[in-house]
Chains A and B, each alone.
Chain A
Amino acid sequence: MIGDVSALQLIISGDAGLFAIVKLSLAVSLSAVLLAALIGMPLGAALALTRFPGREGVIVLLNALMGLPPVVVGLAVFLLLSRSGPLGSWGLLFTPQAMVIAQTVLVAPVVAALTRQTVEDLWVDYRDELAAMNIGALRGVATLLWDARFSLTTALLAGFGRAAAEVGAIIIVGGNIDGFTRTMTTAIALETSKGDLPLAIGLGLVLIGIVLAINALAWVVRRIGERYAG
């Protein structure tokens, strides 16, 4: 499929194999970030606004989970989804869905921890105003998340960075199956070990380009948003 062509030629020629890998990688990582946002943002906001015994310990644990080793997550999700595991009947092992689950587990703590810190800082300023307006807990959380939206973009970008860069979890639960579960990072690892450096380099360049493009897009959206919302 690849042969002895250069990395740039692969990109410029729109190599179908390369772009299928790119497409799957984006689908998996963006899905994981979306799910992690749905889980992590309310969780982080709730943790910022509630007080209960052991809360400090939960915060320390959540912060520690940001550094969760991907291979360990991959192994845990593998055990859960394997035929003899508790979720084996779902039949998800070695599918893109399994990869999304694994990356969601990796990204959710990042989003939750950064959301917790952001919302807690904002709460110091907003607490009295919201109390004076008789705002209930749910509406208060929604208000804080909305008003922290520009800061939370950074949390999502950090989550996307973690998802897009990791290889350990998805290679275990996805199996790196050609044309089905092969992503940019797993393909780079495989092609490098096979000595097919043009494809590995091409994928690496595309990966860096995508991360730069998404960060640039987020920056532009943030600047435009700040101009209109302050």
Chain B
Amino acid sequence: MSMRTPALDLPLLFVDVRISAGDTAILDRLTLRLEAGAPTLLIGPNGSGKTTLLRAAMGLLAPSSGLITWGGREHSPPTRRAIVFQRPTMLRRSAAGNVRYALAAADVPRDKRARRTEELLADVGLSSLAHRPARRLSGGEQQRLALARALARNPDILFLDEPTASLDPYATKAIEDIVRAVAARGVKVVMATHDLGQAHRLAGDIVLLHRGRVVETGAAEGFFASPQTAEARKFIAGELLV
């Protein structure tokens, strides 16, 4: 499959971003640069700000202060990026109907939607379940359908918020295989996980978050081989970051 044209929404830049809920800072003066390339895995304990970072990166949350830019633009409609939430909401229609809805939302011409729906369902291994009500799919199947729906937008950047949380190993492998295939096509994958094994398997880069701040970031190989901070060493060792 051919590689994509350069992504308009990259680099994605967070500059001194603060997002707060009341007096509590969820992201605390966070600065981060995400470039095209291999998947970036966001890791960190619960409450470290992974989900908030993804939502802000998608443009669903505005920073209380600081700046977020997509490809150098401060205001960028989410036409070239997509997100899969940890618990995606299935629209009340068939699996194929969910994908068709996403294609329509992405302004894909009507005469191309049927074929594209088949392709996307095939990509995520759901062809045989195309006509099944989406809400009757298993958790893993719903996550794959959410991925197909996200890919219907033909995104430059795909944000995934712990897509394999609470899935069994078989379903987790299916999702990871799709993530690898998507990344191989040139889509920038930014994925939150609390599973260090998964970070090992998928990451090109790692961003370790703790208490709303970036503690350490870098290439996955170097991060796991020689972490630079005490927090990273503790987290890799399986100790609790509190």
Contact = CB atoms under 8 A, between A and B. Distances in A.
Contact of A133 (B55, B97, B105): B105
Contact of B92 (A129, A134, A139, A230): A230
B138 interface: no
Interface string B114-151: 00000000000000000001111000000000000100
B153 A133 contact: yes
B93 A129 contact: no
B58 interface: yes
A56 interface: no
A133 B60 contact: no
Contacts of A230: 90, 92-94, 133-136
Given A134-B105, A147-B91, A229 B133 contact: yes
Contacts, number: 54
Interface residues of A, number: 20
Interface stretch (B5-13, B26-34, B76-84): B76-84
Nearest to A131: B60
Interface string B58-88: 1010000000000000000111001101001
Contacts of A90: none
B236 to A, nearest CB: 32
Contact of A125 (B78, B83, B89, B101): B89
Interface residues of B, number: 27
Contacts of B58: 132
Contacts of A128: 55, 60, 85, 89
A45 to B, nearest CB: 15
A132 B91 contact: no
Given A147-B91, A230-B93, A134 B77 contact: yes
B102 interface: yes
A149 to B, nearest CB: 8
Contacts of B136: 230
Given A134-B77, A229-B93, A129 B88 contact: yes
Interface of B: 55, 58, 60, 77-79, 82-83, 85, 88-94, 97, 101-102, 105-106, 133-136, 149, 153
Interface of A: 125-126, 128-129, 131-135, 139, 143, 146-147, 149-150, 226-230
